[in-house]
Amino acid sequence: MAPRPQEPEPQEPELLAPLDLAFWHLESPTHPLHLGALAHFGPLPAPPPGHEPPDVLELLARRAAAVPRLRMRVRDVLFPVGGAAWSADPDFDVRHHVREITLPGADFPAETARLAAELMERPVERGLPPWEMYLLTGAPDGSFAVLVKLHHALADGMRAVAIGAGIFDEIAAGRRPARRPRPVPPRSWLPGPGRLLDLARDRLGDLGRAVEVGASVVGASVVRAGRLDGSPAAALAAESSGTRRIATATLPLDRVHRIRRTTGGTANDVLLAVAAGALRRWFDGRGLPLPGADPRALVPVSRRRPGAAPGPGNSLSGYLLDLPVTEPDPAARLAAVREAMDRNKAAGPFRGAGAVALLADQLPPLAHRFGAPFAAGAARLLFDLLVTQVPLPRSALSLGGAPLQALFPMAPLARGQSLAVAMSPYGGRVHIGLVADGEAVPDLDALAAAFTAELDLLDPPETTDAPATPDS
């Protein structure tokens, strides 16, 4: 499979899309809204005789600086009122964004997870292009890791892949040299009378969609509110401590596909069922009673066309799924997930509270600017946790010749929630990144271990040596 399309070169400043603007204003010091990825690389190959090994920090900095989107910052604009725009930073200095940290090498994977959690607690600096990248070194065998943070206003999951792919050898080799940014004066955002008329007409045209989506969101939220007294608040909902904990897990992708071929549905259905079983096992390990109602997951859905260029702005909707943690039988859990996801897909991404991202698209900029404090606390009325899958290129990737061995995606936490789950298939394995509030979920490693145990229930280990047939 060919690498995904690269991020296009911005020709001039562009307004933040409504959903990007919502993410920008929803952030607070204790609820940073950045995506993350922790990538582990093997040791650098031995250089040819007479050559020095590549300087990975310099390589990261040079390649990141060549990604057009990473040179853009957010600034306010005169019109639309309350809006903001991406604008090239005339003082861009990649050294403000790319840093190296050397860790104790005794248990390098554990140290990288600990430090990644600490770094993910901190919001990115808003006066600069909103991203950071850390080279983590110190492993005895010469392997290393890279932590990437991208503000959610800058990218959704698929676009983050397109942006981050620029650091890899295979994609960077074909990238054009960066062009010097040319600032555009603020007056370029003042619309003429014709444009004002078009904007007014667009607003009226959007009103019907806003009412339709809004009614669906409110209706689903009312149903949800009636269940909150039985929701798993003690484990999955918490006042934020401002701290983060990160844990990771890996699952063999061939086993996931073998289950899919046997039971039907999709690989994502299997992973969602494994997540439900892992939560059930985690509740039991904590000595907690099962919740009175199954926890509801928001499953983001990209509205981008497969194979298309990333394009500007976030393009997301979402499905809502009651994770069947109260169901004791693993096969029945998978069947319940498959049936619920089939219903979601049949209804489409414009129905239910998962469509709240579409509602954000219909609101004017001032609504996002002044409504953010109210909207930020509303996530718990809609869902208990986020479970997302971030696709990666299937081709082998490397940095400076060092092979990418694993990439663990990390999703932001909504206010009042304590857990987010992100999954990425790569290199024959599913890499799972768990992000939790550090005080609410001190035993996150136990939940990570439960993913493997739950996969074993659906695909017992003694059958894993059977030959796998090609996927359909």
Phi, psi values for residue 290, rounded to 5°: -65, 150
The whole-chain average pLDDT of the chain stands at 79
CA 145/CA 109 separation, integer angstroms? 9
Specify the pLDDT at position 99: 97
Q: Quick check: 231 pLDDT over 50?
A: no
CA 186/CA 198 separation, integer angstroms? 21
Helix (H) or strand (E) holding 217: helix 193-225
pLDDT tens across 316-362, in order? Answer: 567 889 999 999 999 999 999 999 999 888 877 666 555 555 555 55
pLDDT tens across 397-406, in order? Answer: 999 999 999 9
Averaged over 157-163, what is the pLDDT? Answer: 75
Model-wide pTM > 0.85: no
- Residues of the chain with pLDDT > 90, as a percent, come to 46
pLDDT tens across 196-219, in order? Answer: 444 444 444 444 444 444 444 445
CA 356/CA 217 separation, integer angstroms? 6
Other residues' Cβ atoms within 10 Å of the Cβ of residue 374? 8
**Could you tell me which of 360, 350, 414 has the C-alpha nearest to residue 382?**
414
Q: Report the sign of the C-alpha dihedral through residues 140, 141, 142, 145, in that order.
A: negative
Q: Given its phi and psi angles, is residue 468 left (phi above 0), alpha (psi -120 to 50 degrees) or beta?
A: beta
**Could you tell me which of 105, 99, 104 has the C-alpha nearest to residue 134?**
99
Nearest 5°: the CA angle 48, 54, 57 is 170
Give the DSSP per-residue string, 335-373.
HHHHHHHHHHHHH-TTSSGGGHHHHHHTS-HHHHHHHHH
pLDDT tens across 428-455, in order? Answer: 999 999 999 999 999 999 999 999 999 9
DSSP state of 385: E
- Do β-strands 385-389 and 419-426 pair in parallel, antiparallel, or remain unpaired? parallel
Angle at which helix 253-263 crosses helix 267-285, to 10 degrees, equals: 110
Other residues' Cβ atoms within 10 Å of the Cβ of residue 264? 12
